[in-house]
Structure 1
Amino acid sequence: MATLILLRHCRSTANTSGVLAGRTPGVALDGRGAAQAAALPARLAQVPLAAAVTSPLQRCQETLSPLLEARPGLPLFTEDRISECDYGDWSGRKLAELNDEPLMEVVQHHPSAAAFPGGESMRAMQARAVDAVRYWNARIEAEHGAEAVYLMCSHGDIIKSLVADAVGIHLDLFQRISVEPCSVTVIRYTRLRPFLVRLGDTGDFRSLAPEEDEGAAGTERDAALGGGAGAP
């Protein structure tokens, strides 16, 4: 079957302001995000893409814009099922404020039981994303052959949930996975099993450097809901 490149959107204004964007309209890339997007055509230059599929949200569409300009014949499709998790009443709120919500502990440690007030459950989020990938795998293979490679631009929690499905781990463990903005994750699907070929590859190792705040070094940190902002 097809090989899927999962691309998390480049850094957004919500990432840098510490806001859980969710499906809030009008969330654009920030300056660094725009630079990350501009570098994508060179990063992917050696990959013959059969198609690109994107979340309908603005930050994903802006991420793909330079790539589409560099490859004017590349088919582009919008897929609602890979849109950001519907965080409901949490959307647009500061992550620091949300950390005090009792539900956040469930989101971190038992996400399969987490349902956002006024939004969707994390189980429903994963199920729709997996259904979308299965659909596009079959379609791309039927139209372009079993060796085809295609790209899907989506969001942090969506990509983490797809990785969990591909490697056969429970959704309750998906918070152990990290994918930074503009990171590339590659899953090769076959008839019997998927293979995780790349995970969260940015080519940028700044986020591995010790933090300037000595008090933060070595401390336990929760997973960033929505995926986090990546390296400074």
Structure 2
Amino acid sequence: MTVILLRHGRSTSNTAHTLAGRSEGVDLDDKGREQAEAVVARVADLPIKAIVRSPLLRCERTVAPLAAALGLEPVVEERLSEVDYGAWTGCKIGDLFKEPLWAVVQQQPSAAVFPDGEGLAQVQARAVAAVREHDRTLAEQHEGDVLWIACTHGDVIKSIIADAVGSHLDNFQRITADPASMSVIRYTSARPFVLHVNHTGPALTAALLAKPEPSGDAVVGGSTD
């Protein structure tokens, strides 16, 4: 099972440098709408069977052109929603730099809990659970491999990737997920394989999503020469 983690296109909050969080009505800007339209061509060669999205408007707008092109009805998944930033919601990023919690978010995010909001560890737990659950459900429905899209938010995507590579959440700030980027994870019975991170090129192709092949002659911790 392979999931394409699609971050929503550029939003009006991105360009205003504010922390949108779960604010209602935050839409894509002109560039974001262009990015949403471009997603259709970027995945045109791929057999996508399902679209799952965050309930927020910017994710709805991002997948709308692709859903129309594929004739799919996106599934709304609350657990893929943006971080609940609580009292930080709507604040200017520049002002948040001054908060003591900002350093915790950057250096030890597993310990960060937003005032009147949620913790980043909670975000990772709910998001990973959602992706793995949809992955299993789609595998059962289609009785085999399925390629699907999960449209969500930057910090959510970074936390899912951190889990997939077996990295502690405290390292998730080393991962980048730009607006309209695609990151690809293939889940297997043995382990997840991260195939792409922050892909912003013109197209993802089937060849780039080939199944990882086990290397039976590999020497653990050493060279195969």
Common fold by TM > 0.5: yes
TM-score by length of 1: 0.86
The Cα of 1:76 is off from its aligned counterpart by 1.6
Distance in 2, matches of 1:144 and 1:197, equals 22
Structure 1 runs of 4+ off > 3 angstroms? Answer: none
User: Is 1:142 aligned to residue 140 of structure 2?
Assistant: yes
Structure 2 residue aligned with 1:21: 20
The Cα of 1:145 is off from its aligned counterpart by 2.9
Deviations 1:142-174 (A, max 9, x none): 011331101000000000000000000000000
Deviations 1:32-53 (A, max 9, x none): 0000011111111011111000
Unaligned runs of 5+ in 1: 205-232
Distance in 2, matches of 1:60 and 1:168, equals 27
TM-score by length of 2: 0.88
Structure 1 residue aligned with 2:195: 197
Structure 2 residue aligned with 1:64: 63
Distance in 2, matches of 1:115 and 1:53, equals 26
Structure 2 residue aligned with 1:54: 53
Structure 1 residue aligned with 2:212: none
Distance in 2, matches of 1:203 and 1:81, equals 28
Is the Cα contact below 8 Å between 1:90 and 1:116 reproduced in 2? yes
Is the Cα contact below 8 Å between 1:50 and 1:75 reproduced in 2? no
Superposed CA RMSD: 0.8
Unaligned runs of 5+ in 2: 203-225
- Residue correspondences, number: 202
Alignment identity in percent?
51
User: Is 1:98 aligned to residue 108 of structure 2?
Assistant: no
Distance in 2, matches of 1:41 and 1:62, equals 13
Say which one has the larger Rg.
2
Deviations 1:49-89 (A, max 9, x none): 110000000000000111112112x2420000010000000
Distance in 2, matches of 1:29 and 1:76, equals 18
Distance in 2, matches of 1:146 and 1:160, equals 27
